[in-house]
Amino acid sequence: MTLRDFIPAAWRRKVYGAFALIGLALTSVQVAFSAADTGQPVWLTVAFAVYGLWAGAVGFTALSNAPDTLDPVEIPDGDGKRRLVVDE
């Protein structure tokens, strides 16, 4: 079983989106506590530790689904011509 098999393609986009929203929510709560000049609660510290642990798993899953090579892409120029671009 590979990482591709662990999370089916139909679920990956939802998993990545939910993971990003969780990170945004955690960061927002931490900024709020910091702005209020109060101490950070223990649950938030623990949540960031767990989030950081899972970030590696989500990142490796995304990496395993990224293409090994980049195909050229046609991009229209301002003068109506098209050019091929390969990002390296």
Handedness of CA 3, 6, 12, 15 (dihedral sign): negative
Q: Does some domain include residue 37? A: yes
Range of the domain at 52: 7-65
Q: Does some domain include residue 86? A: no
Q: How many structural domains comprise the chain?
A: 1
pTM (2 d.p.): 0.62
3-state secondary structure of 76: strand
3-state secondary structure of 69: coil
For the chain, give the percent of residues with pLDDT over 90. Answer: 33
Instruction: With a cut of 60, say whether residue 79 has pLDDT above it.
Output: yes
Q: Does some domain include residue 22? A: yes
Phi then psi for 76, rounded to 5 degrees?
Answer: -70, 135
Q: Does some domain include residue 87? A: no
Give the model confidence (pLDDT) of 2-35 as tens digits. Answer: 656 676 777 877 888 888 899 999 999 999 999 9
Q: Does some domain include residue 16? A: yes
